[in-house]
Amino acid sequence: RDALVTSTVNCLTSFLSGFVIFTVLGYMAEMRDVEVEDVARDKGPSLLFITYPEAIANMLGSTFFAIIFFLMMITLGLDSTFGGLEAVITAVMDEYPQVLAGRRELLVLGLITVCFLGSLSTLTYGGAYVVKLLEEFGAGCSILAVVLLETIAVSWFYGIQRFSHDVKAMLGFTPGMFWKVCWVAVSPALLAVSTYSL
């Protein structure tokens, strides 16, 4: 239930932030008398910390919108973190229920402490380079490769029949032929093409 609520809130917040971001990009394109693509050409932190503050500074009620914008960025970062961490917390709690019974808060504290210590390198003088490295090599190809390997492991090695039986045990019905074809062929093919194209 918690994972469903946090994932839903995360999706809704991301959807709302998309409206805000493209509205500001349109405003900046109108101010500069250029196309939106030219304004959006800046990537990463420069778009967030240079382009948007410039756009907000030119708007009526700029102080209010600046506060709202950066509160939205904090909220977006926090709820994205909650969504990712809740999946890990739920998996660990389900795997070790006897050991962690009544100790959920300590697990959350430990996990957040590890995340905090891991992110300290981004606050140093070379932090921009660390963020750039994570942006270039930490997200795109590596995540797709891991998902491809997971898909192959579950559908080919674990077996589609055993996986369908597990789904039936959890949900009460057996997945149809469409899902089996997607798990065995379509998903690995699309992931392989996507991974190779990066």
Q: Look up the pTM and report it.
A: 0.57
Closest residue by Cα to residue 13 from 90, 103, 89, 79: 79
| Interval 168-190: pLDDT, tens | 998 888 899 999 999 999 999 99
- Residue spans per domain, the chain: 1-91, 140-198
76 known member of a binding site: yes
Say if residue 157's pLDDT is above 80: yes
Residue 50 CA to residue 55 CA, distance in Å, equals 9
Residue 11: which of 74, 69, 84 has the closest Cα? 84
Convert the pLDDT of each residue in 21-75 to its tens digit: 788 778 778 877 888 777 777 666 667 777 778 777 877 888 898 898 888 888 8
The answer to whether 48 is a known ligand-binding residue is: no
Residue 79 annotated as part of some ligand binding site: yes
Contact (Cβ atoms closer than 8 angstroms) between residue 25 and residue 40: yes
User: If we measure between CA atoms, which residue out of 35, 24, 25, 33 comes closest to residue 62?
Assistant: 24
Q: Are 188 and 155 in contact (CB under 8 A)?
A: yes
Annotated ligand binding at 10? The verdict is yes
